Every structure is written in structure tokens, then in C-alpha cells.
Amino acid sequence: MKIIVVEDEPKSREGILNILARDTEYEVAAVCGNGKEGLEAVKEHRPDLVISDIKMPVMGGLEMLEGILKEGIEVQAVLLTGYSEFEYARRALKLQVVEYVLKPLEVEEFLEVLRKVEGNIEKNRVEKVSAEQLLWTYFTGTDVERQQTEPILRETLQADDRTQITLFCIYPCSLANETGSELQKHTTELLDSLCMENYYVMSLPRQQGFLVMLTDTERNKNLFKIFKTRIYHSLCQITECHCSYGTIYGLKELNEKLAELKDMMQYAFSLPDETILSRELVESIEYKDLEYPDYLEQSIYREIRSGRYDKVRATGEQFAKSVIDSEGKPACIREYVLRFSAGILRVAGETRGCLDAGEDTSYIMESIARSTSKREVRYQFEKIMNAVASSRETLDITENGMILNVIDFIRSNYQRDITLSEAAEGCCVTPEYLSRIFCRETGVNFTSFLQNFRVSTAKRLLLSGNYKVYEVAEMVGFHDQKYFVKVFKKLSGVTPSEYKRENGK
């Protein structure tokens, strides 16, 4: 539990800190001498609990709590005072203070109050988990299970047929499970930092994406704007993803709305980056008929056979503008790009005496076929054009030199603390750009790749029989043995000691 202490009297402040240090394992995030400092500290640290005196210079405890309430920050509070007047207690209750404790403090009484606060926080956490479990049953269960779950879910969410429920579905374009999990975790952290209430974040059944559900949202007129600018924008910096949005009243239409939000995702292909899809937006989209540009196909074949690579590039760009950047239907655009790409690869292969470019060609063609955005189609098409418009004798499709450099950087530096930012600096690109490219090329994010590499190296060291577990942890870049064991077990299914015992000679 994270605590901020706000007390102007040095002796009282020292006593509180001594009790916390001696009798608890709670984290003290900040110590402040008045309510004004306390309010700023709460904004910065977002604690679970504020322990505050009532009467202080500059700003008192009650005024501070009123300021916290105005900021929309959800926090538990314990007020300490030598004044037992009813008015203080009445105002404190209005501010939802957990306890009102008189000074001088009785140690056991004070500790009991802290345990009560911790219990309330844990109860809230469990209730949220329980609600998400109920939602999972509601989404995946039979009609009978859904009917049985609905009244319990109504009560848990405190949602009747008049309660507005807002839904955001997030679908990462990457197929890596780690990407979806990372986005889901980051979303929860962002919602907490924005002090959002009554929200639930959960994976969607049989799908790659996840759902953010907020209840009782009718009063929050700025919710859509906040979600788009503060949450969805941040997720898009991690990896390319799409988002759809809708509202319902009560739970009866929940599954139908979820299916509608999923269906909307196909329209993201035709819209600018970071657009949140809605029913109104989707209904406004109009596609145009698109004819296949045979003349460009025949033209680029001639240029490839003649070795005029500058004209190959120019014709390829002309095709991209007329097809990929068009207002044609997504399926039609993908089909034409695949057809055009297959043709130029065949002609380039025949011209250079090789039939294909190996497995990389299949990978790129598959990426185009399943792409969910024009940017992804163009990215893969440009890989093909760069290879075809090159004077090299072989077709080098991947052009993944930067990724190979990053992997080499990991191999050379995994023993120490390294970050995506450091790797990006070495490649002269931004961390956001490297994150996108690395995930797209390897299928996992930078952190997951690094952890897998470290664990793989750790396995070899463990089986050598020359090192203890804590020594191996240090050697592969983990300075906290407990965290090393946790990561090792997550990736291997067993602890390092168990792995060594089961696989050692």
C-alpha cells in the first residue's frame, strides 16, 4: 500500500513514520508539511492512502481532501487531529474519510485503521476481478448461463436498464500475444492514472483484442475525447492498433454490441491512423469502384527486364498511389496489390535467373493478405519494390539490417540493463519507430525478445553446472533473483532450480 503523510508537527510526523517503518511494510511515497504540498504530492504519486492532520498552516487537511475530490482522484484517507468537534467529523464523513483518529495516537488503534484501509482496497480489487470473471462468463457461456449470470452482473456493476455503458474494443495489428497483453496492462495503468472509476479491462474470447468497459458514463461528456487523446494515442505509440466504440443502456445488448464493434474493425483499413471507429463513422464511408491497372503492370515488366530501376521505382509508386491510396474496397486493394506483387516478383526472378525470393516472399504476401491498414500494405509493398528495383543479382526482400543490428546489440549487452531507447539511439531512430518495426519483423516486442534471450542463455549456464541460480541471474542481466525466477518460470514453466534438476546430467 502506497501512503502519503501530511503533518506539520515534526514530533507527530516522526512518530507516524516510525510506526510505519517498524510495524508495517507499506511504502511511504511522500512526506509533506501542509495540505498544499500534500495535494501536489497526491497528484504526482497517486497513493492508496493519505494520512493527514486536520489543522495545518497554508492549507488544512479537509481543504486538501476537498481539492483531491475536485481533481477526481480516488484515494482513501485517515484524518488525525486533537480536535474532536462534531463539525470536523461531519465534513470528514462527507469527504468519505475512512477513519477519524484523535491524537496522541494509540499504536494498536492506528495499525488497526491501516489494516482496515488495506482491507477496503483489496476488497475493491477483488470485486473488480469478480466482475471481469462474470463478464467472461456472460460473453462465452450458453444462453442458460447468460440468463443466470445477468442478474448477478447487474448487481455487481450496479447497472440497470437506464445505466449507460461505454465500450471500447482494442485490436492490435500484431499477431504476437505479448503485444495484446502489453497493451491491456498499459491501458489499465492509464485508466488508473486518470482516476477513471467503474471500468473493466478484459481479453475478448477467441479474439486477439481486448475490451474496455466503463459503466455509468452518461455524466462524463468528455469520456470519448479523453480516451482518444490520453489512452488510445498512447497505445498507438507502442504498436499499430485499431479501436471501435459504442454505447448501450443496460446489459441486454452487450453481446450484440460487441459483435458490432468487432465487425467495425474491417473499416479501419480505409481511415487515417488513430481513428476510433463508431457506427456513425462507418455508415458514412463510401467506396469507389477500382479497376486493375494493367497498363502499369505491363510497363513495370518492361522496365524490370530492361534494368531501368529508377523507372521501376517510379512505376511502383504510381501503382501505390492509384491502388493503395485509393478509396477502393479493402479486399479489392489487397487483391490487386498481391496480384501486382506476384507478377513483378516472377518477372524479376526470371530476369535474374532465380524463381523466387524464398520464405520471405511468402511472409510478405501473407502480411499483405491479412493486413488491416493501408500503411501495412504499403510497408510490405515497398519491401518488394526495394528488392525488385535493386541492381543486386538476388532478391533481398527483408531489408532487416536494422533489426539484425538490434539483435546483435542484445547479444552483446544482455548482461547489463539495456532499454529500447538505448537500442533506438544506436540505430538513429525513435523508440516508437523501432518498437513498431521490431515487433512487425520478429513477431514479439523488444522486452519479450530480450527476456527470451536472457532465459535461453540462463538455461545453458544452469546446465553447465558451474554456477548457482543467483550467479546466473546476475550473469544474464537480472539483478533481482526473485524477478529472475518469476520470468524464468513464466517462459519455461518451471523455476531455474527445477529446470536444472530435471535437465542436468
Range in 10-24, 73-87, 236-250, 274-288 with the lowest mean pLDDT: 73-87
- Please tell me the distance from the alpha carbon of residue 285 to that of residue 319, in angstroms, as a whole number: 23
Q: Write the DSSP string, 116-161.
A: HHHHHHHHHHHHHHHHHHHHHHHHHS-HHHHHHHHHHHHHHHT--T
**Architecture category of domain 402-503 in CATH:** Orthogonal Bundle (1.10)
2-123 classified as CATH 1.10.10.10: no
- Over residues 128-183, the pLDDT tens digits come to 657 878 888 888 778 888 888 888 888 888 888 889 999 999 998 765 555 677 78
Rounded average pLDDT over 14-38:
91
Query: Residue ranges of the domains in the chain?
Result: 2-123, 158-279, 294-388, 402-503
What percent of the chain lies above the pLDDT cut of 70? 88
Sequence-separated (6 or more) residues with CB below 8 Å from residue 6: 32, 33, 34, 35, 37, 38, 41, 50, 51, 52, 53, 56, 61, 64
- Over residues 303-362, the pLDDT tens digits come to 988 888 899 999 999 999 999 999 999 999 999 999 999 999 888 888 776 544 444 577
CATH hierarchy code of domain 158-279: 3.30.70.270
**Global pTM?**
0.54
Report the pLDDT value the prediction gives residue 94, as an integer from 0 to 100: 56
Rounded average pLDDT over 74-79:
85
If you count DSSP H runs as helices and E runs as strands, how many of each does the chain have, helices first?
23, 10
Report the pLDDT value the prediction gives residue 153, as an integer from 0 to 100: 86
Report the pLDDT value the prediction gives residue 399, as an integer from 0 to 100: 45
Rounded average pLDDT over 463-481:
88
Checking if the pLDDT of 436 tops 80, the result is no
Rounded average pLDDT over 467-482:
88
Rounded average pLDDT over 90-105:
65
- Over residues 56-75, the pLDDT tens digits come to 899 988 889 888 877 777 78
Residue 134 and residue 149 in contact, taking contact as beta carbons nearer than 8 Å: yes
Checking if the pLDDT of 237 tops 50, the result is yes
Report the pLDDT value the prediction gives residue 65, as an integer from 0 to 100: 87
